[in-house]
Amino acid sequence: MGRYILRRLIQAIPTLLGITILAFLIMSAAPGGPAAAMTFDPKVPAKQREAMQEKLGFNDPLPVQYLRWLLGERPIRVAGITLWAGREIPIFDRLGNEIGSEQGTSGGIIRLDFGRSLFYKRPVVDMLKERAGATVQLGALALAIGFTIGIPVGILSAVRRGGTFDNVSRVLAVVFNAVPVFWLGLMLILVFGKWLEVLPMGNQCPLTIRGCTSLQDRVNHLILPVFTLGTGWIAVLSRYMRTSTLDVMSQDYIRTAQAKGLPDRQVWFVHATRNALIPIATILGPAIPNLLSGAVITETIFSWPGLGRLSFEAVIQQDYPMVMAVVLLSGVITIVGYLLSDILYALIDPRIRLVGAG
């Protein structure tokens, strides 16, 4: 197992390198440019913005810009030999006027340094750390609710196939899977936030000087976004689990367990569930990165201060360093998610042996 994980991690290096190249080329082709994103005043002359682009190095050849983003602005020295030279970075105000310069502060993504946000003028890594907790909190609760409710619903639908519970659960699964997340979120805000006024309409907690006033406030603010993000997982997992359980229930060992007089609950939730969970393990791979992509819409609707909302704002503001950091982070999360999916395969079913596992 350890050898397999190590080999997969080594194979992830060229994959991440390819992600950085594609992301960089896509961002370079985006209209506007960093100079336009750094200046808010539309009266700034085009020549002044062009001068900004030149001094910031955005008119350099794309390979040079990519290496600068990859290796950073700081010099890299090995055994007294300078392998990569740093440079001074000019500092501009919002009107495009140069107000000073500083020695290269970006260490490059190989040092986990993504530079400074063009919009917030703060290190990108610091902003990601501040927002990551809110997204993990929201995504983990939504995924936990999806598995906690979706798996039992799928099992009960399979063992009561054709009954009222099965028919109702399947209809609800189709409905929640088809309803757009943004529409569901807006309807929940309208009903529970505006009409009934029983739940907050957004944000993570009340905006006070001391922060959140109580744990109940945090829970109340979590209900609507977690429900919005979790309903899709409940629908998907219940349908997958129902299909998988129906296939397992027709196996000989299930009929043998029933013939021995074992209680139905033990047969359903112990003997059948373990093998029925094998297809569910494949969902965990894309589920983890999908939490971030789904959070973009959910966090924007509910003004949730997480990575999803930060990503959306970065795209709107053309904050190039922030967008590149989020894209690379998504790539890492995707690779880790699929690696966990493969490991779960082997843990759930001991008959499965990972090639190269030690």
pLDDT digits (tens, 9 = 90+) for 178-195: 899 899 999 999 999 889
- Tell me the residue range of the domain where 276 lies: 124-348
| Residue that has been written with the tokens 């943004």 in this structure | 182
φ/ψ of residue 249, rounded to 5: -65, -15
Q: Using the structure block, give the residue that is written with the tokens 């003004």.
A: 303
Q: By the 8 A CB rule, do 125 and 137 touch?
A: no
pLDDT in tens, 83-133: 666 667 777 666 667 776 666 666 788 888 888 887 888 889 999 999 988
Q: Do residues 61 and 139 share a domain?
A: no
Task: For residues 298 and 327, state if they share a domain.
Answer: yes
Under the banding of pLDDT at 50, 70 and 90, the label for residue 207 is low
Q: How is the chain split among helix, strand and coil, in percent rounded to 5?
A: 70, 5, 25
Strands 88-92 and 98-103: antiparallel
**Residue 185: which CATH number?**
1.10.3720.10
Same domain, 206 and 81: no
Q: What is the pLDDT of residue 148?
A: 92
State pLDDT tens for residues 45-96: 777 777 777 777 778 888 888 888 888 777 676 666 666 666 677 776 666 6
Dist CA 217 CA 164 (whole Å): 37
Domain finish residue from 48, 77, 111 = 111
Whole-model pTM?
0.81
Distance CA 62, CA 39 (A): 23
| Distance (Å) of CA 2 to CA 8, 142, 270, 347 | 10, 30, 29, 13
CA 6 to chain centre: 24
User: In whole numbers, what is the pLDDT of the chain averaged over residues?
Assistant: 82
Percent of the chain scoring above 90 in pLDDT: 15
- Among residues 89, 111, 133, the one where a domain terminates is 111
Last residue of a domain, one of 111, 142, 160: 111
Residue 29 included in any domain: no
Neighbours of 197 (CB within 10 A): 9
What's the burial of 105, exposed, middle or buried (CB within 10 Å: 0-12/13-18/19+)?
middle
Q: Indicate whether 179 and 226 sit together in one domain.
A: yes
Average pLDDT, stretch 321-326? Answer: 88
Between residues 195 and 356, the one the model is more confident about: 195
Helix, coil or strand: residue 27:
helix
Do 166 and 307 sit in the same domain of this protein? yes
CB under 8 Å to 210, separation ≥6 — which residues? none
More confident residue, 32 or 179: 179
Number of domains in the chain: 2
- Quick one: angle between helices 278-301 and 307-316, nearest 10? 60
Alpha carbon distances (Å) from 103 to 75, 111, 124, 289, 290: 10, 17, 18, 36, 38
Contact call for residues 339 and 289 (beta carbons, < 8 A): no
- How far lies 160's CA from each of 248, 289, 294, in Å? 14, 33, 32
Neighbours of 335 (CB within 10 A): 20
Q: What is the DSSP letter of 203?
A: S
Same domain, 261 and 340: yes
Taking Cα atoms as reference points, which of 187, 177, 199 lies closest to residue 301? 187
Asked if 38 and 118 touch (Cβ cutoff 8 Å), the reply is yes
